[in-house]
Amino acid sequence: MKLLIHAYREVFSGTIELHMAERHEGGRLYAAQPLVFAEHEESMRTYPCLRLELDKAQLLMDELWGCGLRPSEGTGSAGSLAATERHLKDMQSIAKGLLKKDGVEL
């Protein structure tokens, strides 16, 4: 069984279309259907509407990244790199300022 995931950014409606399907032995295709929200009592236990193995979750993340979505809080490799670059620039400015103060020409 192979999980297929495809995300598509619909520019005009401002939405992301998410398609998921499983290809089973023999070539049969099983497509995921739309989620349905049902009223739920506060005290009742809830169950996940979707459970993905890590490699499948990575596939979903890659598809969403391909649609232009990025983490909002700025963490992860892209956010960490940007913070490191800003810190390096600050440190370079401080070092240059101290060198100039001591009469070193740059």
pLDDT band at 76 (very low <50, low <70, confident <90, very high): low
pLDDT band at 73 (very low <50, low <70, confident <90, very high): confident
* β-bridge partners, 15: 10
Residue 78's pLDDT is what?
A: 65
Per-residue pLDDT tens for 51-70? 999 999 999 999 999 999 98
| CB atoms near residue 69 (< 10 Å) | 13
* β-bridge partners, 7: 18
Q: Which two tokens stand for residue 87?
A: 């810190």
Per-residue pLDDT tens for 3-29? 999 999 999 999 999 999 999 999 999
Q: How confident is the model over 69-97, as a mean pLDDT?
A: 82
Report the percent of the chain where pLDDT is more than 90. Answer: 70
Indicate if the pLDDT at residue 46 is higher than 80.
Answer: yes
Q: Which two tokens stand for residue 8?
A: 């598509």
